[in-house]
A and B are shown apart, each in its own frame.
Chain A
Amino acid sequence: KQEVTQIPAALSVPEGENLVLNCSFTDSAIYNLQWFRQDPGKGLTSLLLIQSSQREQTSGRLNASLDKSSGRSTLYIAASQPGDSATYLCAPKRRETSGSRLTFGEGTQLTVNP
């Protein structure tokens, strides 16, 4: 059974800092991995999707890397802003045929202070 761990559970930083969120998973036989953002009282929004054949994926100030063999992914946020405050979750997907069946970590709650 896939288990996903996210460290740290919570993070508070001043505006402008670069930061790294960590995700580890126990079963390295994954098809892809997604990073999501969740604002309080809202659903999850997909930020980045990395295929198992990729090493990293970038979108604006966000960069996600994947080391499948070691069961790790990191989300790098550059020049953080108060609007980045949210909970960030990672979710590996085991197989292409597993539909929308993902395993989620509990997330990292990020607060960016002005």
Chain B
Amino acid sequence: NAGVTQTPKFQVLKTGQSMTLQCAQDMNHEYMSWYRQDPGMGLRLIHYSVGAGITDQGEVPNGYNVSRSTTEDFPLRLLSAAPSQTSVYFCASSYRQSPLHFGNGTRLTVT
């Protein structure tokens, strides 16, 4: 089983560039979310979705957009990259009461 797949694994951007982090899950999970992980700050929720067509903001949504056109995919868009967005990004999914499944992360550096 593929589980939660994130691409790319690594990315370097220049300030002001835009890009999309991809996330796909093959478990038919309703719930999907994006977290960022920074030293000393733990994991913080960026955006989340409770089903196709439904998204909402998390704790740190500024500078990021999401959409959920299918159950399987939940891409995260960086509109205009800033050095403060240097982080490791994790996508996660779950089904109602089930445990949360994480992807292996995308390590992003913004110079």
Contact = CB atoms under 8 A, between A and B. Distances in A.
A59 B45 CA distance: 28
Interface in B61-111: 90, 92-94, 96-105
A107 B43 CA distance: 10
Q: Determine chain B's interface SS by DSSP, over half rule.
A: strand
A43 B102 contact: yes
A42 B105 CA distance: 7
Interface in A1-60: 32, 34, 36, 41-46, 49, 51
Nearest to B92: A100
Nearest to A49: B99
A100 B55 CA distance: 12
Q: How large is the interface on B (under 10, 10 to 19, 20 to 34, 35 or more residues)?
A: 20 to 34
Interface in B20-67: 29-33, 35, 40-45, 48-50, 58
Contacts, number: 66
A89 B99 CA distance: 14
Given A34-B99, A34-B100, A43-B103, A101 B58 contact: yes
A100 B48 contact: yes
Nearest to B54: A99
Contacts of B49: 99
A25 B61 CA distance: 23
Contacts of A36: 100, 102
A86 interface: no
Nearest to A97: B50
Given A99-B50, A107-B42, A32 B97 contact: yes
B75 to A, nearest CB: 16
A68 B109 CA distance: 39
B33 A99 contact: yes
A89 B93 CA distance: 17
Contacts of B40: 106
Contacts of A102: 45, 100
Contact of B31 (A42, A49, A51, A100): A100
Nearest to B58: A101
A91 B100 CA distance: 10
B29 to A, nearest CB: 8
